Each structure stands twice: as C-alpha cells, then as structure tokens.
Structure 1
Amino acid sequence: MEDVSSSRGSIAAVGHSRGEVSPPTEVEELSPPKESKPAPVTPPKESKVEGVSPPKEGQVFALVIGINDYLSNNYATLLGAVNDARAFKKYLLDPREKRGLGVPASNVLVLEDRQATRAGILAAFQSHFMDNPKIPDDGNATMILFYAGHGTRILAPENKIAPDGRVEAIAPVDERTKDAAGNEVHAIPDYVLGWLLSRLAKKKGPNITVIFDACHSGGLGRDVGRARAGGSPSPSVPLELDSHLWKDETGAAQTAPSFRMWSQSAPSHVLLAACGQEETAREIRYIDDNSVHGRFTESLITWLRRVSLENTTYQELLNRFPAWSGQTPHCGGERRDRLVFDGNFPQTGSRAIPLIPHTSPTNDILQSFRVDMGSVDGVVPDTEFTVYGPDNNELCTLVAHSVETGKTILVPPGKQPVVMKDGQSVTIPPQSRAEVSDWKNDAMILHVYTPDDFPHTTDLFPKHDITVQPKGRKYVQASSVADADIIIRKVDDDIVIRRLTSTILECHPETRFPLKDNAAHLPLVADGIAHFNYFLERHHGSAPLKDFSLEMHRLVGDYPGRRPDLKASPRGDGNLVVDNEVNIPSRAGAKYGFTIRNTSEMDLFPYFFFFDPEEYTISLWYKPESYKVAPLTKKTEDADGTVTVGMGSERAFEFMLPPDQPHSSGFLKLFVATQHLDISWIKQNVSPFDPNFQGTPRIQAGQEPLVAIPEWDALTVVLTMTKQ
C-alpha cells in the first residue's frame, strides 16, 4: 500500500497546546534570579565509530536568530536572547580542538533584533537555505535553524482540530505592529514553518535541526526567571497571508500535504525545544560573568561541547540536561534517534542500547545495569546481551535478571559479583551499549522452512542444527512445513516468501523480491520478517486496558482546518473503523486522519504504528512528546480523552493504489501504556528486501525514573483499500 503521507509533518504532539497565563506585571520586570553556570569538566576523549564522524567543514549551514527588543509593548524586553544567538554562533565557529563545530563564518547568518522582522526571517530562510548554491541538493549538508526570543500563540478559529482554537508561532521583532503599507504584521505560525522546512528537506535533504529557546504558554514567573512568551495570544493570521506557499501555479489550494511544526514524528527535521506544553522557557542571570542566557541554550551549548558527537543522539543529548521545575526540554521529529548533526548516520542497524548503572538492593551483585527495554520488546529472563564500549569493541556478555514492561536489569552470567571475561574482571566505561545476542524467547523466533532444491539454504543456516538459533538471529530452521511460520523458495530470479501463520496470512499470503546475487543478505531478510511478525502479533495476554480505541476519518475542509467528515460513516460519527476493520476506496486527493480515544479512568501514553505487509516496513505515526505527561488523558464528565493524528494543521494521510494493483491491505497498530515506554525502536523504516537494510533500528537512552511497572495493551485494525 502506498502511503503518500506516511508520517505527521510538524514539531509537537497533536492536541498539545501551550497554556496562557496573565500578562507580566511591573514586579515581574525585575532581572532574573542569579544562577551558576554548569561547572566545566574535562571533555572526554572522543572515540571513533566506523563510518560516523562529526559534520565536515563546509557542510554545515546555520541561520541564527536572537531577539531582545521587540517593537510592540505587548512583549517584555528580554535580556539573554541575543546573548544566546551570539553564544551559539561562537559554538558553531569554534574549531573542533575547542569542542566547536568548525563551521566557516560565511556559512552562518545571524539576525539580531531589528534585523529579525517577519519579512527578514522568511527572506533569510529562502536565501541562506533554499537558494544557497553552496548547499548541495544531495542531502549531505547539515542545516541548523536557531531561534531565541518570544514564542506566542495565534487565534485560529478556522482550525477546528486545535483544542482551544489556537496554534503555536514564533514572534518576529515587528509582530503586532504595522508595516510601511499600514498592514498588520503577524507572527509566523507553526504550519508555515513546517511547510518551509518540508520544502527545504525535499530540495536539500532532511538533515535539518531546529532549535527553539522560546515558549508558547504565555506569562512570566517571578520566582524562577524571565519567561520567553507573549503575555496574550497574537491576532489571528489571515489564511491568505501565506497561502501562496501551498497553492499550485493555477492558484488552487490543497494540492500538497499539510504540515505542522510541533510534531513528534516530523520527517523533515529534528526539533530541540526549550520546554513542553503548559511550560515556560526561562532566561537566567549567571553569577560567573553576570551574563543573562536562556538556561536551555546554556545547557545545550555546554553539553554539545562535552559529549562525543560520534556516539550521542539528539534524545540522549537532552537526557543529560538537569531537571528544572516547570521547564522540560523537548526533542521531536522522526529522526531524533540519529546522531547529533550527522544526517548520514543510518537509521537501521542493530539495536544498541545505552547501559545505565544500577545498584542491587541486596548488594549481592556489585555490577548490574539497566536497559530501557523489557517484556513488551520480547526480552525474557536469561536473554543475553553483548556489551560494546565507546570504541565499538566487544567487552563482555550480560544476561537479563529481572524483566519488567519497559526495563530490564542486566547482571553478569551466573550472577557473579563482578563482570568477568576470560578470567579477568571487566570495566564497563560510560557510553557503553548493549545489543541482544540471544533472545532466549521462543515466541520471538521465526521458524523458516526451505525446500530441498533451495540453493541458498547454507546462507540462511550455516550450521544445520535446527535446534540452535544462530547468535543474534531471530529465526531458526524448521524441519518440516508443519513446523514452519514461513516458506522461502526461489522462482526464476526472485525469492518467494509464503506465510503460513499470523494475521498477515488473511491479507497477503505471499510476497517476492529480487535477490540480485546477494544471498548473504538473506539472514537479514529473515530477521526483518521475524521482527515484523512478532510486533504485529504482540498483545497483552490479560488485556488489562480495555477502554481505548482507534478511529479513522475521511477529512473535509481546507488546510489548516481539516476535520472529520461526519457523513462518511454509517453511524454519522465520522469513524470508518467497524469491528477493527476499515475498507476504503482508492481515491486521488482523499485525505484521512485518526483519533485515539480514551474512555478509561487512567491517563495513557499511546504509540501508533503502521505495518506494511508487502514491504515488511513498520512506520511510527505517533509517539508522546513527553516522558512525564500522558497526552491521552482520562475520561472526564465532559469529554473523552483524545489525541488526533493528521488533522487540523497537521500533515494529512493519503493512500493510493498503484495502477496495476486492484487491492491492498495494511495494519494499524496501537500500543497504550500507563507509563512512558521507549518502544519507538519497533519501527522498521527500511524494507528487509532492500540491500541497505541492516537490521532493526538503534534507539536513544530513556532515563526517566521508573517507579512502577506500567500496564500496557494493544489493538490492531486491518486497513483494506480497493480500486473503485
């Protein structure tokens, strides 16, 4: 099934607004409280990982914006935004020996205060990024958009999906003033920024990092520091103001997918934001040099200089930040699990999980570690993990001792007091990672049968012992068809896979792909199929969470106000899902969205995937933006808890069949839990049939406190599309 819009296009989870509070008072105009800067540390010696390096000189381009002095009295004067812009520029220009990026000065454009008008920001984006001949159209350049200043929210009554009729925006220096022609100058809404970033990604490549030290909650606190948000919502932005961006040459609107900035799974960019929903981004006066900076930017630059960029993902970088009351940094975007500023790092590969030191409550094991994967991922007691150091060398083996839903405690084999290898104690340094080397889980293992005339059996099974799983593999050889989950055979130049079990059998009993003289790739194909099948069938045996559902809607209305068509379903509620099935015609231009509904008495964390049984790919369509705040709130007297995906000013979904295909099916899979789970690694963006497929994805470290075993559950909806 072709998914024209296979992911949401923005920077925050759907339905996540920033709250408004009272405008600042005279008392709140006092200077921010003083705070010490993070203590300097000796940077670690950078280790090299094969094929991974920091961005090369000349390949990084940045647009840096800092605004202190706004022209409108609606915005309080900031003290540290320009300082932040200058500090970030210095980090970019500093050579690698000084822990900077070593970017040529000509590649960095800075807009300060009155330079950062609405027209100036949009023109700089066009000239410095889109039309810059120095940025190749091959996707290899790193592009960074940095903004420090006020955030705001705009009234958007046409956007029926926005929970309070408002959407997020950044405030240019001349917002809420008149231009030379006497016209009102408006904020730059999230959907405009999202559209621009999507166009940039399409032309120059998706290696884009957006950094916002601003907030959209409004208000100013007295006790912590100055907040970077407007005190009241900005005026509504006329839809025609920026509509030229998404109209075609004839002036017709809605010919392209829609975009929203604050999306957890935006495909065009990674967002690093100073705070989450209902929070404020603060700037602080630091006692070391009496300077004022946004504490987010201060911590960001500090940790960018400290960490090994070759071994740190965006999410891992933010996990190192201190915990601040009322300000939780946010990382969004489909590519947030990539290495910082390195767009060429592959998303596929063995799942390498950071090890987090753990203290045994009984003190009987001196060395134990936590990894943030557990029973929901297929881990069982005695699952074996191979540990690799920062230099990518194998150190030792650890085994799963206690397994919970979202975490596992690893200990030395045989519960030895310390980790040993070849009779010697082993030191596991910081930034070490672990990979599953033997699942020890029968349910995880795919049983593969090959006929006697299959010419590549030895490539799949180097050892003809059907009782032993090859190390690290998720499949074993079946002795007969009756014992098999799939049959792999060769027809002409194609490999044909026949499914014998699982939900897929009813929709796609067979698929094929060309081998192209690459028999050594077959083990990875089998691993990818095993990964796909296991998580498609994954469910909780006791189904503890029953009161949640997934709805699919055909959408009506113009961007950015798309909403469910209530007439599209027989029940008149717009929900196309009937008995966990959806049947839709293949129709050009039809747009769809989803609602995740909670009618339970518990707040929930939802995770929404699409499983394509033709390509064996798994796409992540929604993941909560916060480790702490559950976006799917419990039912109240007034309404159910809901999260929407692909509606309003978010990117809608379009599904079309190829001309020669009469029908196709896919699977919508929804996981929910009472606590945050790091299961985004389930996604399999590259088909196992693709020669570039290297295994299941790598993930970031989840370091939120785990104080209870979360309950979880799942449901599956079969989506079938037919030719009209």
Structure 2
Amino acid sequence: MDEYLRKDLHVPGEQIVNLRNKFATRSAIIREIYALAKNPSIRKDDPILIFYAGHGTSAQTPDGWETGREKISALVPYDTYGVDEHGPILPIPDRTIGGLLHEIAEGVSGEGKGNNITVIFDCCHSGSGTRDTDYPPMCLERGFEMDENVSIPSSLDENIWSNLPEDRALSVVSGFAMYGTRSHVLLAACLEGEKAHEENHRGKFTGALLHTLRQVETHKLTYKDLMERITEKMKDQTPQCEGHYIDRTLFNALVPSTPRTIFTVSQKGEEYTLNAGSAHGITSGAQFAIYPSHDFESQDIPLATMIADTVGAFSTGLFFVADGVEDLPTPCFALQTLVGKANALRLYMPQSANAGSVLRDLKAELDDVDYPVVLREDETQTDLSVYEHVGRVEYFINDPLIKSFGLQKLFNTTGAETRYIHPILRSATHFFWHFNRSPDVSALRDSLHVQVHVLQRDDEAELDLYLRPPYRTHGENLNRDGIVDVVADDVTAYGVTVESDFTVPLHVWAFYFDCSDLSISDYYQPPAFGVRGEAPLPANGKLTIGYGAGGGQPFKYYLRPDQDLDVGFIKLFVSTRPVDLSSVVQRSPFGTEDGMERGSRETAPPLVEDTWDTITIAVVQRKHPLDLSPPVT
C-alpha cells in the first residue's frame, strides 16, 4: 500500500505514516490516527486514508455498551497482551475507532477535516489464528479469538469515545460494519464471522485491492464499483463496503491516478517488438519492466528490463539493458517504468532566488523526482516558468502557441512549499507532452475537415434515448483556420463535426486541453478501442461529437471569477489503427471544484502504411464578443 501511494498516487513521503511490526503498538496507532484531526496541513475535505493490515479479534461486549450484539470487534496491535505502566495492553475496540474517526471528521467544535475519509481493514474479527487446512500452505487466517479470561473493561478508551453523539455511538460498534456512517467509507476484507486470509505473509484482500486499483483511474470509479470488481476476484471471502458515501468516487476524486497500461511484447528471431509506438506516446529511450503474465503483482520481480530503440507509429523495437538474459516467454508483457527524454518538461526558474527561497529547495529536489524535467537558462525555450511572489508560487506559460492568444500564466497559484509545487510540475509534464506531440510526417490532416457549431435543441424532432429533444447544429462553422472564438457564457452548447475524404475508416479520440489549470478532458473516445474496435469515422463519412449518432456530450465554456480571457485547445488524435489513449485524460492538479459509402477499398491503393495524425483547434473564450467591425475612416 505504501508503494501504491507513493508511486501511483504520488503522495509525498512526508504525508505518509507507516507503522510496521514493533512500531505498530496500541499507543502509536491511536496517537497517529488522532494526530490526523490536529494536523494543520490537512484542510477540510482533503482525502485521508487509514489502512490496517494485520490481526483482528472479537470479544464479549462490555457491560453498558449497547450494541445489540454479544460481541464487539477489535484490532490487534503488535504489543497486545503485553504490559505497560497502566496494566495489560488490550486490543483496540471498534468503539474506539469510531471515536477517533468522529474526532477527525467533526472535531470537538465542528471544525473537523470533513467526511472524505477512507478506512481499509484487511483483518478478520474471529478465528483460530492457525493455518486453515482447507487452504494451501502459507495461507493463514488474519484473526483469533480472545482468551475467555481476558475481558474488555467498559471504561476502555472512554476519553476517546465519550464525546460521540448517541446516534454516532450506536452506529460505530457493529464490528466495523458501520452502516449509515457519514464520516467515512469502510472497505473491509470480509464479513463478520468470515476468515480473512493471507498468502506468503501478504493479505489476499490487499493484493486484490491493489491489483484492481492499478487497473483503473481512481477519479472515475466509485467505492461500490471498486468492491464489486474485487469481490469477483475473491471466492473464499466476501469483501465489504460500508458507509453513507459508497457511491462517491474514490477519495472524492481529489487523488487522480492513471490506470496501469500493459503492452504486449512479441519475439521474432532475436528481435523483440512492443505493440505500441509513437501514436501511444512511446519515445526512444523509454524503459520497460518485462513480466510473464498480464496480471502481475507489484511485488513480482520482472524477467528483464528493456529500452525502446526504434519507435514506429504502432510498434517499437526493444533491447535489453543487461546482457545474458535468457529467452523471454512469448508473448510477454511490458510496463513502462521510465519515459524518454522527449517527454521532459522544459522548466525555467530565476537564478537569483534568495537564500531560503523555495525555488532553491525545488531545484535541489528535481534530480530525484519521478517525472522528467529539464531546467533551461533561456526562458523563451521552455514550457513553463516558476516564480515566487509574496509567499505564493506563480506559474507562467512560455509555450509560444498558447501565448499567441494572450494567455500568460496558469490561473491558480500554490503555497511556497515544494510539496505543493511538485504536483503542478508533474501535471505540466503530462500536459505539455501530449499537447505538443504529433507525428514527424502529417499524412492525414489535409484530408480531414473539422467544424465547430453552436448546438440547439430541436423540439420538433423525435426524442432521444433520454426522452429529450436532440441537438442540431445552428449557424455557421466557427472554426476559422484552426481558431474558434466564443463568448464564454456557461450556457451555449457546442459540438464538433469531423468529415473525412479518405476511402478507409479512421479511429478518433478528441480531448480538450485547458491551459489555465492543466486539465485534459475527453470530448470523445471511441465506443470500442480494442484490437478489433470498429473505427467511428467512416470512409468518406463524418463523425459528430456532442450531438447526433456519434456520441459524447455537448460542451460549453465558462470564465472563472476575475478572468476576462481563457484559452484551451481541442485536439483530435486520428489513426488508421485502434489506439487506447484513455491515459491522456488528467484532472487539474489545483483541485478545481468544480450507412455510409465505403468506396472500393479492395482496388484502391493503400492510404498510408499504418499512420496517425493530430489536429489542434484553439478555443479563445472572452467575456464580450470580439469587435470585427471595420475601422471608421
């Protein structure tokens, strides 16, 4: 879990407390959970994760604890049943956990951290603690029954849970299955009374959880959906998802991630080929870990490390980093671990930063970051500049195309600490790489015609599948030489039409690059983009985006408060083969709130041997219409 937080979700190490083995004592666990409530750097509704993997137990309900059950559930810290100055060290009951969560969420005076709290328990609350004979060797239960001579006193941790409202106290004591709770979402390894298992000292539930998380985008999946996927993988225990907000996206969509993209590697003779190329964003020098199976786990040791050499449109030649590697199985699977130098963010920072400036600290840390960045002395040859001003950090745009439309900097600033700056630079790296990348030779765009129109409801037409009047284009084409100039009223709907002169169908993805906040949203993705996915842009046909049969939602534009001008870009990726570009999408790092004739393909000469292309359209958004009237003479 620690590795997932750091590498996949890019959580800074200083924001993670990891208590393991002898450090996971009762007092340490309670102290660190309680510290979350008092941590001034955690703002209201920031995502908080509490993860426990270890033993659980059950005990007789203490006198006076009105739970409606004969037993309560409890976590078993490392030093349980030891002795300290207060006497025997007991497990941590569910009521204590409830009190701590209430303190984090609401605080004593209602100034808590909010309800964006995720609690994950990979343990069970009853069982023998011995190896289960129904399971293979090294398969253990994660729980045990308390000694009958040991009881939980009714006053245990009363200082923690005594401030709970009556209804809250009743809702947190049912064995960690906290039905109706509003302070958090609980993910538990199994039902009460079931056995949570581990294999090779790793929890099976944690393994399934991490495997699933690495296949998805966290900001597009709900807790309920996540647990349904995990449950399908686990036949011997029933994971549980409890809480009022189980239909909320993971971490309330404030910790975005990209799914783990796996590529197939094939072998012909002594040559190895990756089934992805420049169309997928692969560049020379990219590094890959090679595995025998598509469903590998993070702790698995790769068979080899390979580097991208010759990069084609849809395939890439690979070579081994080290000599003496035995033949790999066919097929095998590649996970990209490092990008090529071409992906790097070109960054400028002023050289005159004062001693103690955050920019000096930032420069020192850039050698060890997990995203590619290159410092340049010529500011005009960079993508982004970083300046410190009155305790804040500002981000200025240097891309000449974006600046040509009048946008000079990102709308938001950040605090003057490197932990706030790194997420911006990481997102900027992703943003500018995909914004600027195009094939070396443009073979498609001259025969593709892109129109942008205002959309209006057609009240006289047949209702669509949602029982609403469909959209129709209205007025003239707004795309003039690759520029669309609109009044951003947050009301008017727009759609895109792509027409093709080619006699072969084409695959299309459409994205909107927001140059004010570095977000990339998908305007259109093909209904099916697997190996046999049908191309949505027919031969000699058209694809409608945001209206008609093409799919996708209409889009509109708005200006932020105190903003008179904004600039974004609609970028289409078009290819002769299906390509999965779902990983291009990213949320803003600032956490903002807010039948066609196909022609005679058999006899026609091939278009181009497997190619791809891009088309970019600027969208300039103003508060008032642009005055195009001729000057008075």
Q: TM-score, structure 2 length as denominator? A: 0.51
Q: 1:684 to 1:392 in 2, by over 3 A?
A: farther
Name which of structure 1's ranges 401-410 and 495-504 shifts more when overlaid on structure 2: 401-410
5 Å-filtered alignment, 1:371-390, equals 373-385=276-288, 390=297
CA distance in 2, matches of 1:373, 1:51: 36
CA distance in 1, matches of 2:360, 2:331: 39
Corresponding residue number in structure 1 for 2:620: 720
**1:440 corresponds to 2:341:** yes
Partner of 2:617: helix, strand, or coil? strand
- 1:551 is aligned with what amino acid? Q
**1:551 corresponds to 2:451:** yes
Corresponding residue number in structure 1 for 2:171: none
- Asked which structure has the greater CA Rg, the reply is 2
CA distance in 1, matches of 2:421, 2:262: 28
- 1:511 is aligned with what amino acid? L
CA distance in 1, matches of 2:210, 2:432: 30
Q: 1:479 to 1:599 in 2, by over 3 A?
A: same
Corresponding residue number in structure 2 for 1:510: 409
Corresponding residue number in structure 2 for 1:360: 267
CA contact (8 A) 1:586 1:656 kept: yes
Corresponding residue number in structure 2 for 1:630: 534
Unaligned runs of 5+ in 2: 1-48, 54-133, 136-177, 188-203, 231-240, 242-248, 460-465, 594-607, 625-633
CA distance in 2, matches of 1:713, 1:641: 17
Name which of structure 1's ranges 524-533 and 647-656 shifts more when overlaid on structure 2: 647-656
CA distance in 2, matches of 1:52, 1:582: 52
CA distance in 2, matches of 1:488, 1:644: 37
- 2:394 is aligned with what amino acid? V
CA distance in 2, matches of 1:418, 1:351: 30
**Superposition deviation, residue 650 in structure 1:** 6.1
**1:412 corresponds to 2:320:** yes
**Superposition deviation, residue 624 in structure 1:** 1.1
Q: 1:658 to 1:607 in 2, by over 3 A?
A: same
CA distance in 1, matches of 2:364, 2:182: 43
CA contact (8 A) 2:506 2:539 kept: no
Name which of structure 1's ranges 601-610 and 523-532 shifts more when overlaid on structure 2: 523-532
Corresponding residue number in structure 1 for 2:566: 664
CA distance in 2, matches of 1:374, 1:569: 40
2:393 equivalent among 495, 507, 514 = 495
Partner of 1:536: helix, strand, or coil? helix
CA contact (8 A) 2:488 2:556 kept: no
| Greater relative contact order (CA < 8 Å, ≥ 6 in sequence) | 1
**Superposition deviation, residue 440 in structure 1:** 3.2
Corresponding residue number in structure 2 for 1:74: none
**Superposition deviation, residue 686 in structure 1:** 3.4
CA distance in 2, matches of 1:51, 1:431: 33
CA contact (8 A) 2:494 2:546 kept: no
CA distance in 2, matches of 1:523, 1:355: 28
- 2:306 is aligned with what amino acid? L
1:449 equivalent among 349, 354, 357 = 349
Segments ≥4 residues shifted beyond 6 Å = 49-53, 135-139, 305-308, 314-317, 336-339, 427-433
CA contact (8 A) 1:646 1:653 kept: no
Q: 1:476 to 1:50 in 2, by over 3 A?
A: farther
**1:344 corresponds to 2:242:** no
Partner of 1:656: helix, strand, or coil? coil
Corresponding residue number in structure 2 for 1:653: 555
CA distance in 2, matches of 1:669, 1:657: 20
Name which of structure 1's ranges 665-674 and 409-418 shifts more when overlaid on structure 2: 409-418
**Superposition deviation, residue 350 in structure 1:** 6.7
**Superposition deviation, residue 646 in structure 1:** 4.4
CA distance in 1, matches of 2:226, 2:404: 36
1:603 equivalent among 490, 496, 505 = 505
**Superposition deviation, residue 334 in structure 1:** 5.5
Corresponding residue number in structure 2 for 1:676: 578
CA distance in 2, matches of 1:418, 1:448: 44
CA distance in 1, matches of 2:475, 2:287: 49
Corresponding residue number in structure 2 for 1:481: 379
CA distance in 2, matches of 1:353, 1:650: 24
CA distance in 1, matches of 2:482, 2:456: 23
5 Å-filtered alignment, 1:67-146, equals 140=185
Deviations 1:337-388 (A, max 9, x none): 98936953777347643353x34211x36xx574x54223443333223569
CA distance in 2, matches of 1:439, 1:384: 8
CA contact (8 A) 2:411 2:517 kept: no
Partner of 2:577: helix, strand, or coil? coil
Corresponding residue number in structure 2 for 1:711: 611
CA contact (8 A) 1:436 1:472 kept: no
**Superposition deviation, residue 674 in structure 1:** 0.6
**1:641 corresponds to 2:532:** no
**1:685 corresponds to 2:591:** no
CA distance in 1, matches of 2:184, 2:506: 37
**Superposition deviation, residue 606 in structure 1:** 0.3
- 2:288 is aligned with what amino acid? F
CA distance in 1, matches of 2:299, 2:591: 25
**Superposition deviation, residue 538 in structure 1:** 1.8
**1:398 corresponds to 2:299:** no
Corresponding residue number in structure 2 for 1:461: 363
CA contact (8 A) 1:470 1:476 kept: no
CA distance in 2, matches of 1:52, 1:137: 20
1:592 equivalent among 489, 494, 505 = 494
Corresponding residue number in structure 2 for 1:189: none
CA distance in 1, matches of 2:381, 2:345: 12
**1:526 corresponds to 2:429:** no
Q: 1:334 to 1:581 in 2, by over 3 A?
A: farther
**Superposition deviation, residue 680 in structure 1:** 1.5
Partner of 1:510: helix, strand, or coil? coil
CA distance in 2, matches of 1:509, 1:662: 12
Q: 1:548 to 1:483 in 2, by over 3 A?
A: closer
Partner of 2:341: helix, strand, or coil? coil
- 2:440 is aligned with what amino acid? G
CA contact (8 A) 1:386 1:394 kept: no
CA distance in 2, matches of 1:432, 1:629: 21
Q: 1:675 to 1:310 in 2, by over 3 A?
A: same
- 1:376 is aligned with what amino acid? A
Partner of 1:719: helix, strand, or coil? strand
CA contact (8 A) 1:503 1:537 kept: no
Partner of 2:307: helix, strand, or coil? strand
**Superposition deviation, residue 718 in structure 1:** 1.0
CA contact (8 A) 1:601 1:635 kept: yes
CA contact (8 A) 1:672 1:712 kept: yes
CA distance in 1, matches of 2:547, 2:207: 36
Percent identity (aligned): 16
CA contact (8 A) 1:536 1:611 kept: yes
CA distance in 2, matches of 1:673, 1:52: 46
**Superposition deviation, residue 453 in structure 1:** 1.5
CA contact (8 A) 1:667 1:717 kept: yes
CA distance in 1, matches of 2:527, 2:567: 29
5 Å-filtered alignment, 1:24-63, equals none
- 1:390 is aligned with what amino acid? E
5 Å-filtered alignment, 1:181-580, equals 309-313=208-212, 335=221, 340=229, 344=250, 348-349=256-257, 352-354=260-262, 356=264, 358-362=265-269, 364=270, 370=274, 373-385=276-288, 390-392=297-299, 395=302, 397-414=305-322, 416-418=324-326, 434-441=335-342, 444-453=344-353, 455-462=357-364, 472-481=370-379, 483-507=381-405, 508-511=407-410, 513-516=412-415, 518-546=417-445, 547-557=447-457, 558=459, 560=467, 562=469, 568-570=474-476, 575-580=477-482
